[in-house]
């Protein structure tokens, strides 16, 4: 029987832990640091995700067979390299391969070199040059901080004047710190967004089922970008033709390009796409499961997750088989009022047991902690209320019924999650 360590404290990590409880091969799950939700299915260890030495010690002392890294920051800072140097099995890309998320300027150059379809764009290290370029534009652009910015580094600017303000905040005011020292300015693409995930073991690529998330804080896809306010799977716009196109023109060339760069990719590779009139174009790559896309994908996974991740680490993904529950899934994120800007924490959460007892519903914790007998809010995104249904409309109804059972002061959630998938035409997300 296997012993597993999960690094992270969000809804994605709770979803991974919850899914591993269904594995016949796993008998111990540790989460570092975990949250109030993971404590019900695993043992939490109060270690910071950036403390690589302490995590290596924990994995060694507890005789961990496989470590799974949830968030991007430790991947980009080399935790996989550190674990592998100690002879420990760990799921995730090396720092060199994780650069595809950690450095958007590198990713843009790599895509161009590999002829991967993406938005036209330029990389700038000097504010004046970026400002001069944007000032010549008469159509909308997207401004991206090149470094990791916890989901806050992308500003969509339909009016170029908005881009000038974004550049000033990022490069002059340094609101994102080092992450904004270099920026990428891209053309503003039009079309619906789609999330594609693939397991990669260095050579073999295994595409997972599709998902679609909702990035913006406001209903109707308005307001500031967030880490994600909800998701659903599968996405109706992910047709066989679209998926075949993405595999051939995006995944295969980018994995080949990384290997050619001396950074073979092993782990979970996320592709954020815009389905434009000219075909799918890449918005970004991530080096790990998305959150909240992981919640809906893992809710539908019927294969043994441990066996799949072990196959990636051992380089035998070509022998694996991925099976899916045909029922669609919907996740609605309950957040603290004010997120993604300032918000209060420490609010007592009621109704979790009642909601969790509902049929085909999972309550996955993101920003929670235990204080005495209570579970309280401890972050911006608090819960990912996830439900399966006979169809997408049923899954959506079940998720919202569970949401209405849960209460905490100043709770906020979007009321239109998955609505676009039930409409004849889809808007951008």
**pLDDT cut 90: percent of the chain above it:** 89
pLDDT band at 160 (very low <50, low <70, confident <90, very high): confident
Q: Which residues pair with 44 in a beta bridge?
A: 31
How confident is the model at residue 425, as a pLDDT? 52
pLDDT over threshold 90, residue 224: no
Q: List phi, psi (to 5°) of 413.
A: -155, 155
The fraction of the chain above a pLDDT of 70, given in percent, is 99
For tokens 């997750």, the residue is 305
Tokens 């007592």 found at: 348
The answer to whether the beta carbons of residues 235 and 209 sit under 8 Å apart is no
pLDDT confidence band for 395 (50 / 70 / 90): very high
- What are the residues facing 282 on neighbouring strands? 118, 273
What topology is assigned to 2-95 in CATH? Answer: Rossmann fold (3.40.50)
> Nearest Cα to 111, choosing from 316, 254, 300?
254
Residue-wise pLDDT tens digits, 329-366: 999 999 999 999 999 999 999 999 999 999 999 999 99
Are the CB atoms for 172 and 127 separated by under 8 Å?
Answer: yes
pLDDT bin (cut points 50, 70, 90) of residue 429 is: very low
Structure confidence by residue, pLDDT tens digits, 118-159: 999 899 999 999 999 999 888 899 999 999 887 778 888 999
The set of residues, in sequence order, having a beta carbon less than 8 Å from that of 27 and lying 6+ positions away, is 1, 2, 3
Q: Which of 76-80, 164-168, 303-307 has the lowest mean pLDDT?
A: 164-168
- CB atoms closer than 10 angstroms to residue 100: 26
Say which CATH topology domain 126-181 has: Dna Ligase; domain 1 (3.30.1490)
DSSP for 288-323 reads: S--TTHHHHHHHHB-S-HHHHHHHHHTT-GGG----
Q: What is the pLDDT of residues 270-309, one digit of tens each?
A: 999 999 999 999 999 999 999 999 999 999 999 999 999 9
Instruction: Compute the C-alpha angle 393/397/398, nearest 5°.
Output: 120
- Fold of domain 193-319: D-amino Acid Aminotransferase; Chain A, domain 1 (3.30.470)
Q: Quick check: helix, strand or coil at residue 255?
A: helix
User: Is 3.90.600.10 the CATH classification of the domain at 329-422?
Assistant: yes
Tell me what the mean pLDDT of segment 172-189 comes to.
92
- What mean pLDDT do residues 160-180 have? 91
Nearest to 143 by CA among 128, 111, 112, 121: 121
**Spans of all domains in the chain:** 2-95, 126-181, 193-319, 329-422
Count, residues in the chain:
429
Average pLDDT of every residue of the chain: 94
Render pLDDT for 81-118 as a digit per residue (tens, 0 to 9).
999 999 999 999 999 999 999 999 999 999 999 999 99
pLDDT at 426 over 80: no
Mean pLDDT of 373-396: 97
Q: What is the pTM of this model?
A: 0.93
């Amino acid at each position: 029987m296997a012993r597993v360590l999960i690094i992270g404290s969000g809804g994605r990590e709770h979803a991974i832990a919850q899914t591993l409880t269904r594995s016949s091969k796993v008998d111990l799950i540790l989460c570092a640091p975990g949250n109030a939700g993971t404590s019900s299915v695993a043992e939490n260890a109060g270690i910071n995700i950036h403390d690589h030495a302490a995590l290596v010690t924990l994995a060694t002392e507890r005789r961990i067979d496989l470590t799974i890294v949830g968030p991007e920051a430790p991947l980009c800072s080399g935790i996989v390299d550190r674990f592998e140097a100690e002879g420990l099995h760990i799921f995730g890309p090396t720092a060199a391969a994780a650069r595809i998320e950690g450095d958007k300027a590198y990713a843009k150059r790599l895509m161009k070199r590999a002829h991967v379809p993406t938005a036209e764009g330029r990389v700038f290290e000097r504010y004046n040059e970026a400002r001069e370029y944007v000032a010549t534009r008469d159509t909308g652009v997207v401004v991206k901080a090149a470094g990791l910015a916890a989901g806050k580094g992308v500003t969509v600017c339909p009016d170029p004047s908005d881009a000038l303000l974004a550049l000033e905040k990022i490069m002059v005011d340094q609101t994102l710190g080092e992450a904004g020292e270099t920026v990428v300015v891209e053309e503003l693409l039009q079309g619906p967004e789609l999330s594609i995930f693939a397991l990669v073991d260095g050579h073999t690529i295994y595409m997972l089922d599709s998902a679609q998330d909702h990035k913006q804080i406001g209903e109707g896809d308005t307001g500031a970008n967030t880490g994600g306010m909800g998701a659903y799977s599968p996405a109706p716009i992910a047709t066989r033709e679209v998926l075949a196109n993405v595999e051939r023109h995006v995944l295969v060339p980018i994995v080949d390009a990384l290997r050619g760069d001396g950074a073979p990719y092993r782990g979970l590779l996320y592709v954020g796409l815009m389905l434009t009139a000219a075909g799918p174009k890449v918005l970004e790559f991530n080096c790990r499961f998305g959150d909240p896309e992981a919640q809906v994908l893992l809710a539908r996974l019927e294969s043994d997750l441990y066996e799949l991740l072990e196959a990636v680490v051992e380089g035998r993904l070509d022998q694996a088989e991925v099976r899916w529950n045909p029922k669609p899934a919907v996740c609605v994120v309950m957040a603290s009022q004010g997120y993604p800007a300032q918000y209060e924490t420490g609010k007592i959460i009621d109704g979790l047991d009642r909601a969790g007892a509902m049929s085909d519903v999972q309550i996955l914790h993101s920003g929670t902690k235990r204080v005495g007998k209570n579970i309280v809010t401890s972050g911006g995104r608090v819960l990912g209320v996830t439900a399966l249904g006979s169809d997408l409309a049923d899954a959506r109804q079940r998720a919202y019924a569970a949401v209405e059972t849960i209460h905490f002061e100043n709770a906020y959630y979007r009321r239109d999650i998955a609505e676009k998938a039930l409409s004849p035409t889809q808007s951008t997300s």
